[in-house]
Amino acid sequence: MDAKRVAAFGTAVSVLAVVWRFHRVSDIHSEYVKFLSGHDTVTAYIAYPERPAPAPAVIVIHEIFGISDFVRQTTEQLAKDGFLAIAPDLLSRRGGTPASQDSARKLIAALPPDSITADLNATKDYVKKLKAVRPDAIGVIGFCWGGGQSFRYATNAPDLKAFVVCYGPAPNAADMARIRAQGLGVYAENDARMTAGAPDAAAAMRAAGKTYPYTIYPGVGHGFLRSREKPEVADSAWSAVIRFFRAQLKS
């Protein structure tokens, strides 16, 4: 084989190696799992990253519509980004997320806070026992209704390391003193109902001796990570979320 062919062959092998490595990094496995929460069974969608060492884990709290394609895709994307991700169906005790969004909204609005906390605790306990997970590196992220639940859950889970609030309301200021995790807020400029509360949430966290950095993303509205009305803005927000989780969970 002459020198030119050798060089061309070497280049082709190098390109294939890069493609193979890229494919392996983004390769994931996902499935539904079930586990107990008290006497009830919770169904959750879980996605495993392809990595040699145990991964930090992120619990994904769904919107008021329950488990959806967006939630499953977000769970898978977190796995592609190197985290084991799990999204519990918080309507499991009610027979699971119904097909109708209106029905899901009504059911979720009636969920007792203690029941939500119990099911999130059961989810956290489940992933902590997995060999693929680092049990000391657990975070949580929530969207809309789930964003508020992410913030509230941080007040009830002192072993959490990180929480992300995507355009969700804050808990009572008095409860923030119990938070041990680091938080991050993601808000939208055209979402006055949620964004207006961000400065007060940050002030309450400061009063409790903690920080709550947040960003108001320009030109987008409520649910922009799902709607992707401006893909470049959604991608920027997601990149910030991943950097935060990697820093706090030592990914």
Q: Report pLDDT for 150.
A: 98
Q: What share of the chain is helix, strand, coil (3-state, %, to 5)?
A: 45, 25, 30
Distance CA 74, CA 234 (A): 12
Chain centre to alpha carbon of residue 190: 22
pLDDT along the chain (251 residues), means of 10: 42 33 61 97 97 96 98 98 98 97 97 98 98 98 98 98 98 96 98 97 96 98 98 98 97 73
pTM score of the predicted model: 0.89
Backbone angles phi, psi at 29, to 5 degrees: -130, 130
Torsion over CA: 228, 233, 236, 238 (sign): negative
Q: Report pLDDT for 251.
A: 73
Q: Are strands 182-190 and 55-61 parallel, antiparallel or unpaired?
A: unpaired
Run of H or E residues at 168: none
Q: What is the pLDDT of residues 134-182, one digit of tens each?
A: 999 999 999 999 999 999 999 999 999 999 999 999 999 999 999 999 9
